[in-house]
């Protein structure tokens, strides 16, 4: 009985070997026919025609050296003729890539990089598109961690194409969108818009992905805002609000951003409507910080419409919100002071100035350096409105400080304000020079 079992197992091994040889032979034949070659032409003096025929019929298995010669002549990788070995290699590659992905998720970049080196031994072009997508996704994330941004963007695009081939629409969008986000954060704004719009193409036949559509339009709007194109920004923020989930936080953020764009265009009534609507939606979400942002926008609109009592009521409502941080309160007073100092008839601002100065004395790690500078400018701007002494040197100093922090729009706004003061003092030439400097700051600069 043992002898019979041994014989049967030996027969199974031989059958499996023959099956593998037959499959190898079939792949040689298919590749040869695809190239339009005869068996004799494939032999090309190195082998006999009968040897090629025997391989194709699965009667013999070529040596590794001979198979490598045949593969090179047919323009195929060696693994193409060894499907079982290719499947095993692909499975191992998939396991390795998932481990790399897990390491990247917890920011273990050195380990991820070392493990990805093992994946580089495989020919990624010969694996299934889904595995290709995972391979290029890992490669892009490693490149991004190494600060090779533009290379990472190109690799993200390849990953997206691989996922698109297998109908993984959401993954295709995710990696094109990731490329756009990376470009936005490093200031490559025009390229970021291009990539974000390309990511929208992945969703054009998938309207059910509302959140992804909303995120993408919001990113495009943010890019256009920074580029100073408020019209295009406003349109995309409107789309972000429209396609997003009803009452979602991102929709409220889009509405606030749209109100800000309208305000920059001087359309204060429309901006006020959007800011008030955003505040109402924030109530439904029980989102105090979002509501505070909306109320700051509403207060600035009301001041610009010369409704200072209305702005005071809005500011009081904001300060009564629960869990509002010092940074938000500072921003509220700062923006109110900046808006008040633009009114034709200067209003009394001492109470707001005292409140802001008091908040500036409180420790707060969340306030960024440019925000601290803007707080100081708000107070200085009010002082200059009352007594415009040394206006030119003061605004020049603040403008240089904002420029050093790459806050070009703020730097330009400071110079424009200084030019207005100099015009009132009939120092026209000095005013003109400040305006020219403001224009130079904005031309070709990210805003």
DSSP secondary structure, 138-162, as one string:
HHHHHHHHTT-HHHHHHHHHHHHHH
**Overall fold of domain 213-315:** 1.25.40
- Establish how many alpha carbons lie within 13 A of residue 254's alpha carbon, considering only the half-sphere containing its beta carbon: 29
pLDDT of residue 239: 92
Tell me how far apart the alpha carbons of residues 369 and 45 are, in angstroms, rounded to a whole number. Answer: 76
**Interatomic CA distance for residues 205 and 199, integer angstroms:** 12
Measured distance CA(442)–CA(412) in Å, rounded: 7
pLDDT reported for residue 11:
40
pLDDT of residue 344: 81
Query: 105-114 contacts: CB < 8 A, separation 24 or more?
Result: 109/142, 109/145, 112/138, 112/141, 112/142, 112/145, 113/142, 113/145
Please tell me the predicted confidence (pLDDT) of residue 16: 36
DSSP assignment of 320-362 equals TSTT--HHHHHHHHHHHHHHHTTSSSPPP-HHHHHHHHHHHTS
| Whole-number Å distance between alpha carbons of 70 and 47 | 10
CB-based contacts of 263, cutoff 8 Å, min separation 6: 271, 297, 300, 301, 304
**Tokens representing residue 101 in the block:** 């992905």
CA distance 351 to 332: 13
pLDDT value of position 8:
39
Distance, in Å, from the CA atom of 316 to the CA atom of 309, rounded to the nearest integer, reads: 11
pLDDT of residue 150: 86
The CATH number of 83-206 is: 1.25.40.10
Residue boundaries of the structural domains of the chain: 2-81, 83-206, 213-315, 386-447
Residue 341 contacts residue 381 (beta carbons within 8 Å): yes
Q: Do domains 2-81 and 83-206 have the same CATH topology?
A: no
Q: What is the pLDDT along the chain (447 residues), one digit of tens a residue?
A: 444 434 433 443 343 344 456 778 888 888 889 889 999 998 888 889 999 888 888 888 888 788 888 888 888 876 677 656 556 666 777 888 888 888 888 888 888 888 888 777 666 556 677 778 888 888 888 888 888 888 888 888 888 888 888 788 888 898 899 899 988 988 889 999 999 999 998 888 777 888 899 999 999 999 999 888 999 999 999 999 888 765 688 889 999 999 999 999 999 999 999 999 999 999 888 889 999 999 999 999 999 999 999 999 999 999 999 889 999 999 999 999 999 999 887 778 999 999 999 999 998 888 899 999 999 999 999 999 998 889 999 999 999 999 999 899 999 999 999 999 999 999 999 999 999 999 998 875 544
pTM of the model: 0.71
> 226 with 446: CB under 8 angstroms?
yes
| Assigned fold of 2-81 | 434 Repressor (Amino-terminal Domain) (1.10.260)
Any residues with CB less than 8 A from the CB of 138 and at least 6 apart, and which?
97, 100, 101, 104, 112, 116, 119
Q: What pLDDT was estimated at residue 55?
A: 87
Neighbours of 65 (CB within 10 A): 7
pLDDT of amino acid 112: 87
122 — phi, psi (to 5°)? -90, 155
Interior angle at CA 251, CA 247 and CA 257, nearest 5: 140
Q: What is the pLDDT of residue 13?
A: 37
- Angle at the Cα of 355 (from 382 to 360), degrees rounded to 5? 90
């Amino acid at each position: 009985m043992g002898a019979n079992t041994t014989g049967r197992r030996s027969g199974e091994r031989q059958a499996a070997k023959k099956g593998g040889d037959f499959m190898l032979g079939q792949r040689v034949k298919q590749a040869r026919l695809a190239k339009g070659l005869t068996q004799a032409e494939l032999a090309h003096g190195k082998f006999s025609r009968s040897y090629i025929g025997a391989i194709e019929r699965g009667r013999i298995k070529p040596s590794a050296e001979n198979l490598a010669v045949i593969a090179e002549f047919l323009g195929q990788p060696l693994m193409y003729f060894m499907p079982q070995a290719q499947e095993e290699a692909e499975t191992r590659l998939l396991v390795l890539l998932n481990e790399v992905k897990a390491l990247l998720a917890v920011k273990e970049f050195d380990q991820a990089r070392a493990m990805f080196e093992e994946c580089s031994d495989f020919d990624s072009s010969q694996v299934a598109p889904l595995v290709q997508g995972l391979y290029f996704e890992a490669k892009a994330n490693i490149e991004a961690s190494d600060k090779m941004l533009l290379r990472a963007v190109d690799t993200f695009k390849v990953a997206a194409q691989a996922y698109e081939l297998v109908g993984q629409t959401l993954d295709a969008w995710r990696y094109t969108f990731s490329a756009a986000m990376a470009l936005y954060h490093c200031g490559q704004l025009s390229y970021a818009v291009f990539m974000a719009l390309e990511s929208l193409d992945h969703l054009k036949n998938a309207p059910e992905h509302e959140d992804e559509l909303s995120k993408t339009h919001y990113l495009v709007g943010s890019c256009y805002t920074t580029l100073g194109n408020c019209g295009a920004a406003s349109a995309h923020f409107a789309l972000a609000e429209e396609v997003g989930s009803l009452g979602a936080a991102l929709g409220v953020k889009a509405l606030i951003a749209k109100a800000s764009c309208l305000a920059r265009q001087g359309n204060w009534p429309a901006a006020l409507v959007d800011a008030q609507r955003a505040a109402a939606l924030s109530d439904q979400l029980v989102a105090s910080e979002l509501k505070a942002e909306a109320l700051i926008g509403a207060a600035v609109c009301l001041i610009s419409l010369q409704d200072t009592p209305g702005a005071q009521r809005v500011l009081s409502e904001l300060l009564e919100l629960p869990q509002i941080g010092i940074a938000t309160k500072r921003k509220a007073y700062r923006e109110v002071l900046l808006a008040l100092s633009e009114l034709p008839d200067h209003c009394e601002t001492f109470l707001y100035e005292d409140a802001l100065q008091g908040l500036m004395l409180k420790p707060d790690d969340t306030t960024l350096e440019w925000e601290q500078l803007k707080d100081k400018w708000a107070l200085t701007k009010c002082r200059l409105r009352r007594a415009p002494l040394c206006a030119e040197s003061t605004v020049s100093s603040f403008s240089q400080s904002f420029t050093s922090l790459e806050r070009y729009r703020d730097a330009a706004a400071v110079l424009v304000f200084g030019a207005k003061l100099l015009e009132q003092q009939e120092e026209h030439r000095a005013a003109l020079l400040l305006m020219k400097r403001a224009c130079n700051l904005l031309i070709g600069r990210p805003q």
